[in-house]
Amino acid sequence: MTDQSAAIETVKTAIAATSDPEMNRDLRNTLIMVVYEGFAFLPGYVRWAPGGNSVKQNEARDFARRAIATRDTGSAPAEPAADRDGGGGE
Q: Report the alpha-carbon distance of residue 68 to residue 13 in Å, rounded.
A: 9
Span 46-84, pLDDT tens digits? 888 887 778 888 998 898 888 877 765 555 555 565 544
Which residue type sits at 23? M
How much is the pLDDT for 18? 73
Span 1-24, pLDDT tens digits? 677 777 777 777 777 777 777 887
Q: Using N-to-C axis directions, what is the helix angle for 55-69 and 3-17, rounded to 10°?
A: 60
DSSP structure class, residue 87: S
